[in-house]
Every structure is written in C-alpha cells, then in structure tokens.
Structure 1
Amino acid sequence: MSLSAAEVWERLLLRARAELPESTYRTWLEPTEALALDGDTIVIGAPDQFAADWNESKHAALLASFGPVALGHPVAVTFKVHEDRKKRAQMDFLVEPPPAPARDSGLGTRDSGAGRVASPESRVPTQQRVVSAPLNPRYTFDHFVIGKSNDVAAAAALGAAQAPGKVYNPLFIYGDTGLGKTHLIQAVAHALLERNPHTRVTYVNTEQFTNEFVAAIQGRTTLDFRRRYRETDLLLVDDVQFLRGKETTQEEFFHTFNAIYEAGRQICLTSDRPPKEIPGLEGRLVSRFEWGMVTNVDLPEFEHRVAILRKKAELDHLESSIPDEVIEFIAEHVTSSVRELEGSIIKLLAFASLKHKDITIELAREALRDKIRSEDAIGIGTRDSGLGTRGGLGSRVYTASPTTKFAQHAALSVMTIQQMVAAEWGVTPEGLQSKTRTKTLTTPRQVAMLLCRELLGLQLVEIGNAFGGRDHSTVIHSLERAAEMIGEDERFRARVEKVRGMLETLRT
C-alpha cells in the first residue's frame, strides 16, 4: 500500500526528532507540512522563504538519508513556501506580520506603505518609550557578522525582530563574554524601532533591574517600577545568570516575565550558560526561559574572525589602512573573543599613530605582543610559542617529586598545568585530554581545569578546547566540582595547593 505525502513526512519527522536537538526540531521542522509526493520526491511547505531556504540547506539532506530505513526506498526532500500557512499569524515568524488593529500594547496600527505604526501620543507617553539604558548604534543586524559559531542565534534573533512575541519568545542566547549576545538582542530592538519608532523598549542588565527594584521598595514606588517594566513592548535583559540567589528579585522578575509574555510582547535574554545550568535559579524561571528558543554563540573560527575584522575596518573606513595580511595575522593570534578582536584593531591603530609608522605585520606583532604572548601561554600554537618540540614542551626539567620529572615550557601554560597535575595524580597528560570519564581521570582533569582558570584566566571555551574539545557547560561543572572537593576535603585541598605552589614558580 502506497503512503500519502503526510504519512511519508510523518515517518521522516519521527527519525529527525530522534536525531536533532529538540529546540531545532520545534523551531524549523515542526511548523512544516507535507504538500505533495511526486514519485520519490516529497515537497514540504514552510511558513516563509527564509524558513524554506534554511531547511533546504540545513536539513534536506539529513531527512533524505532517513528514506531507505523509514520508507524502504530513497527519497528526495525539497522545501517551498506554503502560501496558506504563511498567512497564519501564529506561523508567520520570519516575515512582516499583516496589518492588524491596535492592541493594548500601544503598538498601534501599521501603515501598509512604510511599515510604520501610527500610535496616538496619549496611548504611548514619551517617558515610556525611552530605553532604560542606551542602545549601541552599531549593534544592528547589518553590522553583525554571521558564521558557523552564531548562525542559529542570528536567525532566531532575526525571527524575533520580524514577528515579536510569537515563536521565539522568549529568545535566550547564551555563551562566553564578548561573542555577540548583547549585539544580537539590541539588533532586535533596532529593527523594531526602525519599523515602529513608538515601540516601547526596555534594555537593562540584571544588576540594574535588581538595583531599581531595591530602590523602588525603599522609596515605596514599586507600582511605578512594575508599570515601567510590565508595560514595555520589548524587554531585553543581559546576564540573567546574576539572578541566582536573589529570591525576592527572582519573584519580581517572574511576575514581570509573565505579564509581558501573556500580553504577547517580546522578551530577549542573555546569559553565560543555559537556563538549566544557572545555579540558584528557581525552577519556574528555568521553565519559562526554555519556553521559546534557547541558542548559543561560540568562539568564531579563523575565517569568521577574519570576516569580523574586515567588517570592523569597513565600518571605520580603514580598508586602505590595514592590509589583508595584518588582518589575517590578528585573526590567527587573537582568538579569545570578538571584543578582543575589535580591541586589537583599536590598539594597533593607536600604536601606529604614536610611532608614525605604516601598519605592517611587524608593527602588529610589536603592538599586540601582550595579546600574542597570552595566546602563547595557553598553548595556541603561534610560531614563537616554543611549542615546536614533540609534546609541545621545551627541554627544561622541573622536579615535581623525588621520583617524577617532566619537561617544562619556558613559562606557565596549559600544557605545564596538565603535566604537573598528571604527575601528581599518576596519570598521563593525554588522559586528561581524552574523552575517558573514569574517576581516575575525571578528578585530576577537573583540578587541571580549575588551575587553568585561576592561574591563566582562560575562558570556558579555551579550557574546553584544551581538554579534548569539551563544551563550556562541562567545563562549568568541572570547575564547580573541583571547588566543592577543595572545600570538603582537607587532604585534597592540600594536594591541590601543593601543585598550585609548584606552578606559581613558573610565572614569568
């Protein structure tokens, strides 16, 4: 018996749901619908062209690969815009919503020509439209450079801007400092304000929200505080991980979140970790943060860093001042964050101006020697890092104990920490970098990660890369577990301090 298009699609989706992250499945595949089955090709309807193109490039091949098992024969999957579904408001998450009557949110009625909103001044008082903290004028979608490390987060932010309060609500973006989380949520605000200047936007970080709430309690102005936050059209909150442990503030934020969400208005949040991994955060807030889209931004790869630097040069009209080879040199050596990349450009320009020299690789090496040395210290192979010998270590010898010797790099580095910890615990550095999770390796691995964090100041992504490509959530758990063991076991603490003391002697 031949299967209908809907039945074929249902079987493929069943396989896809088992393979893909739940958030990816819900965001991109759940809103689709089988349109037709033409021979061995199934045509799938998506709510708009963006979603169709995204699914075609990201998921079509994977779905087709399920055909032989799920259907018993090969199948080709193609996506197109489903015109009927595109008209449904609940699915219209990446296109301009159709004209609608004014709502209580104060957004007014859209002007079909210019995409503006007519909103009477009496409905939206001027003081309510003021952004709580200033938006960075450069934090727009046009200025955001998309790469593999942030493409899903960028697509989700664009979706939230095109259809606020719908599919991507709340939008929760997490990742390390300086990777573009704030840029993306502010880009949502810029896009909404460009389309409707009367949009009420509130942008704060968690500390500001807490301070304002405390001041409102002290000044007996909590009603004004709640009105200011709960009547906004777009709430942007940075660093929600700092809500942890603040029970009264979490209670207030919970009710603020509910009021905005239930009114169909957009919420965008950022954090350094996913909701479930924020310690001391109430379960009801965790569940609400996961209602919409949770996505992350990672460290950009080399090609992405080059593109970011070129964009920076273009925005500042520096294309003719900074040669391509210098941009590639910076991209190769400065890897910690986007913010650090941009700061390197600024520092290089200032250095060249003071020295009255043209910008060259040699000048960049001199101007950024502290950043390059920092990269060398964490073992990210530059030519001058001294990591050319086998095992990445130099020839000097340091005696960790009467019976244990190991090769030492000229300065404190990830590798020296790994080798020192491995010697103390009787394992190998390669074991610390492996995927093996036996307790014999897990404990010293966690100690080595903690020492890398404390002695070298590495970011979570850098530590994860140095220990077998572990993700930042695993690193967070390892750091917290090592700290717990140090606090609970005096003998363990003494052992860690012994290694720490020996490593401190390697500082230059």
Structure 2
Amino acid sequence: MLEPAMVHSAPPSWSSVLDYVRAHVKPQQFETWFTGLQCLVMQPGQVRIAAPNKFYRNWIERHYLPLLRNACEEVLGTEAALEFVVLEDASAIENDATMPSPATASVATASAAAADTAAMPAPPANKAAEPRPVNIGEIPLNPHYTFDNFVVGPSNRLAHAAALAVTENPATAYNPLFVHGGVGLGKSHLLQAICHQLLARNRALRYVYLSCEAFVNEYIAALQRGNVDAFRQQYRHVDMLLIDDIHFLASKKALQEEFFHTFNALYNAQRQIILSSDSPPHEIPELEDRLVSRFKWGLVAEVEPPHYETKVAIIQRKAQARGKRLPDEVVHFLADHLDSNIRELEGAVLKIIVLASLHNHPIDIELCKSALKELTGRASDVNIAQIMNTVATQYNVKVADLQGKRRSKSIVLPRQICMYLARELTPMSLAEIGGHVGGRDHTTVMHANEKIRKLRASDPEFDQKIERLIRQLQRG
C-alpha cells in the first residue's frame, strides 16, 4: 500500500470525469468501481489512473475502458491515451527516470500534499479511504431486499432462519447454505438480505454475488484470454461467495471441475458460500456426486410456494411499500386468484395501483378483475360445469361422485384435476371452486392444484393428458 509520502491530489478536471461517469452508470457500480480510483496525470493526450489493486485495474480495463476514455476526451476536448497502474506500484512509477516530467509533477510529496490540503477543501477522493463493501459480482444489491421486508411464513421459515444464522456466524453456522425453490419465491431476496446484514456490520466486506451463468461466461472468457489464474484469484480470495441459479452448472463438466476447486478453496479458508437453485442438489441433472455431496455439507433449505395467509401478508406489505392500503376484500380476492409466486403478487399490486391512478378509479373488486385478466390471461368462457362434465367423461365417473365425499383413488384424482383446471381456466376464487366440488375449503383446492402441477412436471404422459383436456375445453 502507499506510504504517507505518496498521497496524490487529483487534477481539477478529474472530478469532471467522475461526474461524466456517474451519469452513465448505476450508483452501485460507481460506488464500487470508481470512488477508489486516483488520477495521477491528466493532460491532453495522456491520462494515468491508479487503481487500488490488480483486480480493480483488470476489471476497469475489461468493462469500463470505453466509458472512461469517452469521459476523459469529453473533459479534455481531445483524444487521450489511458494508462492504468496499481497503487502498490505507484512509487516505482514516480521514481522511473524515463517518466515524462508532467507525471513527476503530478506526484505530490507529503509537504506539498499538506499545503494543498490547507489551501483547498478536502477532495471527494477522500471518501475512498473509508471502508466500503466490494462486490466483484454482476448483481447489484436491491435496497429493498432486506430481512425486515421479507414476509415469513410456514413455506419459508426454515430458509429464513438459516439465512439469519449465517449472518450471526458466517462460515460457521451453515456452510454452505443451499436454498432451493421455484421461480419468484424469494431466494434472491434472502441472499441479498444476508449481504445487507453483514455489510451493516463490516463495510469492508469483500463478496461476490452473481448468477451462475455469469460465472460460466467469465470462466469461458478467461480461457479465451489465457488468464484463468486471474479468474481464480478473483473468486477464491473473497470473504463470501453467493451464486444464484447454481443448477446452471448441470451437464457442464469442465465448469463443475472449476467450481469444485473454487468451492474447496473457499471452504478450507473458512469463507461463507451461499447457493440458490430451482431444485435440491441431488435433482440437478448430471451434477457430479462430489459436488452434490459438498452442497449438502451445510444446510439445504427449501422455499415453497406461500400459503394463503402468507400471500395475504405479502400483498399487504407490497401495497404498504407503495404507500397504499388495499381494502381487505381486494387483498383476499388477489390471494384467491393469483398463483403462489411472489413476483406475480407484486406485479398484480403494482398493476392495480397504476390502473387506479391512471383512471382515477377506486381500488375495488371490479378494478382487480380487470387487472387480473391482463395479468393471468385466463380464459373466461370455460365454466366449472363444463370442466366437471369433461373430466367425468374422460375418467368414466359420475359428476355426482366428483362432488361427493368418496375418497377412493378412482375419484380423488379426477376431482383434483377438476379443481386444477378450474384454477387454470376460470376466474373463480379458491373458495368458489371448493364450493362446486363438494363444499371443500380453499386449502383443499390449493393442495389439489399443487399435486397436479407436480404430476405434470414428473409424468410426461399425464402432462399430455391434461394438455388435451385443456385444448378440448378451450375449443368448447
């Protein structure tokens, strides 16, 4: 690191360069990658920039060089050749006899730096000296994805508790933490909440948070450039590694080999590893047994679709976050009609609020039906009677049996199919569907819906049978 005698005062025009960059990148990117840079020389035709370390330099050159070049040329009014150096090597640059005189003039001695400090306000670059988080990954943190904003219910309680435990004892409580579940159920929210919690305690935390696809692409690019060692240095020397959608490693043997060694390096160094996936480790296709085993070393926690009560709480929380309070009948209508996907719930709340504002319309059931029709695209020309008659014919049972209390297998499956199809093809609520199928409650309908979904996913022949029923009903 730099000795006190190596303090540099940024040229006056450097702040203009940073202003240009700030206007062209996201705040998180600017805070992460640009506040730590120092300008050593800035003159027409030549700009020399110092980065805190080699990784910073390589990342800036790879991802932001055109932007920085445009910024410098905009400020200088002429073309400029950019040169990047590492702060640790700055003393060697200063003492190089072949260095042009402007470069030497830009390097202040301790006394000169002190004089500059007395003569002018502290430059914004001083902020770089403050501890700040370093996210090497490609996913910026969403400020709303915190534990305070996470709605806990029976479907996610274990994953939530495990995530909190990780923040209390990183690399000790559960390492790795493997969170799996369907799309839009809050896995990324939990991963980011862990980051926010740990960053609140340690602003100098070095972490990598990225998608598995980005990890794969970075590795391929490193192979093409011939600098795999730099890639490994980047991912194996951080405090915490978080990867979304680790199932993307499926069937990629070379990448599995690379990640295996990355995992071992971090685990042996007692660094926290957190992974998310759409399925548990043993269900990821063609994933090496040694990776499956390692993914299970810590805790494997599932995030399931939210129960009805949790959906109600989520809808209320999402509305409150936008400064609105939805009427109870609207909240329950949405919980009844929307599938158990948190993103879908949030999208519905936003859609309703926007429609109410645009049309100056009160938020009521009528508005919800209009918004829901656009969001779900469910057909409204299929009714429950058609569904029950069609299914009864297909399975050679009586409609009265579907509505009755018998629980033999020959009746239960067709009955569940009726509830599933009614959920998919009609705007009826869970309670309304249950009422038409023997007076069953909404939880029975939810269970039937989930069971048929899983059967369709695991049994191609059954899936085709349901598709044929759907097409038959939609044709009328």
Q: TM-score, normalised by structure 1?
A: 0.55
How many aligned positions are there? 321
Distance 1:434 1:224 in 2: 62
Superimposed CA distance per residue, residues 79-98 of structure 1 (whole angstroms, 9 cap, x where no aligned partner): xxxxxxxxxxxxxxxxxxxx
Q: Structure 1's 467 and 502: CA in aligned 2 closer, same or farther, altered over 3 A?
A: closer
Distance 2:221 2:408 in 1: 49
Q: Structure 1's 195 and 131: CA in aligned 2 closer, same or farther, altered over 3 A?
A: farther
Q: Is the contact made by 2:134 and 2:204 (CA closer than 8 Å) also made in structure 1?
A: no
Q: Structure 1's 219 and 262: CA in aligned 2 closer, same or farther, altered over 3 A?
A: same
Match of 1:273 in 2: 279
1:360 aligns with 2:327: no
Q: Structure 1's 270 and 129: CA in aligned 2 closer, same or farther, altered over 3 A?
A: closer
Displacement of 1:167 in angstroms is 2.1
Which amino acid letter does the alignment assign opposite residue 301 of structure 1?
A: H
Q: Is the contact made by 1:334 and 1:371 (CA closer than 8 Å) also made in structure 2?
A: no
Q: Structure 1's 435 and 372: CA in aligned 2 closer, same or farther, altered over 3 A?
A: farther
SS of the counterpart of 2:276? strand
Structure with greater contact order relative to length (CA < 8 Å, sep ≥ 6): 2
Superimposed CA distance per residue, residues 370-391 of structure 1 (whole angstroms, 9 cap, x where no aligned partner): 44663x88xxxxxx9843xxxx
Kindly report the root-mean-square deviation, in angstroms, between the aligned alpha carbons of the 2 structures.
3.9
Q: Is the contact made by 2:133 and 2:206 (CA closer than 8 Å) also made in structure 1?
A: no
Q: Is the contact made by 1:365 and 1:372 (CA closer than 8 Å) also made in structure 2?
A: no
Match of 1:504 in 2: 471
Q: TM-score, normalised by structure 2?
A: 0.59
Match of 1:63 in 2: none
Superimposed CA distance per residue, residues 122-155 of structure 1 (whole angstroms, 9 cap, x where no aligned partner): 9x99895544321111111111011111111100
Distance 1:222 1:352 in 2: 54
Aligned ranges 1:451-490 → 2 under 5 Å? 470=451, 475=454, 479-480=457-458, 482=460
Distance 1:312 1:255 in 2: 41
Q: Structure 1's 420 and 212: CA in aligned 2 closer, same or farther, altered over 3 A?
A: farther
Which amino acid letter does the alignment assign opposite residue 149 of structure 1?
A: S
SS of the counterpart of 2:163? helix
* Higher radius of gyration, 1 or 2: 2
Displacement of 1:480 in angstroms is 4.8
Match of 1:74 in 2: none
Distance 2:233 2:452 in 1: 40
Distance 1:369 1:481 in 2: 30
Distance 1:351 1:422 in 2: 43
Q: Structure 1's 271 and 129: CA in aligned 2 closer, same or farther, altered over 3 A?
A: closer
Q: Is the contact made by 2:181 and 2:277 (CA closer than 8 Å) also made in structure 1?
A: yes
Q: Structure 1's 481 and 344: CA in aligned 2 closer, same or farther, altered over 3 A?
A: closer
Match of 2:440 in 1: none
SS of the counterpart of 1:368? helix
Distance 2:132 2:201 in 1: 17
Which amino acid letter does the alignment assign opposite residue 197 of structure 2?
A: A
Q: Structure 1's 146 and 467: CA in aligned 2 closer, same or farther, altered over 3 A?
A: closer
Distance 1:242 1:421 in 2: 39
SS of the counterpart of 2:363? coil
Given the alignment, which residue of 178, 190, 193 partners 1:172? 178
**Which has the larger helix fraction?**
2
Displacement of 1:158 in angstroms is 0.3
Which amino acid letter does the alignment assign opposite residue 146 of structure 1?
A: V
SS of the counterpart of 2:218? helix
Q: Structure 1's 245 and 256: CA in aligned 2 closer, same or farther, altered over 3 A?
A: same
Q: Structure 1's 316 and 336: CA in aligned 2 closer, same or farther, altered over 3 A?
A: same
SS of the counterpart of 1:248? helix
Match of 2:355 in 1: 351
Match of 1:407 in 2: 389
1:157 aligns with 2:154: no
Aligned ranges 1:76-91 → 2 under 5 Å? none
Q: Is the contact made by 2:207 and 2:241 (CA closer than 8 Å) also made in structure 1?
A: yes
| Stretches of structure 2 lacking an aligned partner (at least 5 in a row) | 1-127, 426-442
Q: Structure 1's 465 and 306: CA in aligned 2 closer, same or farther, altered over 3 A?
A: closer
Displacement of 1:501 in angstroms is 5.4
Match of 2:270 in 1: 264
Which amino acid letter does the alignment assign opposite residue 308 of structure 2?
A: F
Given the alignment, which residue of 329, 334, 337 partners 1:333? 337
Q: Is the contact made by 1:422 and 1:429 (CA closer than 8 Å) also made in structure 2?
A: no
Q: Is the contact made by 1:128 and 1:228 (CA closer than 8 Å) also made in structure 2?
A: no
Displacement of 1:349 in angstroms is 1.4
Q: Is the contact made by 1:333 and 1:372 (CA closer than 8 Å) also made in structure 2?
A: no
1:136 aligns with 2:114: no
Distance 2:266 2:253 in 1: 20
Q: Structure 1's 199 and 471: CA in aligned 2 closer, same or farther, altered over 3 A?
A: farther
Aligned ranges 1:351-430 → 2 under 5 Å? 351-371=355-375, 374=378, 386-387=383-384, 393-394=385-386, 407-408=389-390, 416=391, 422=395
Match of 1:192 in 2: 198
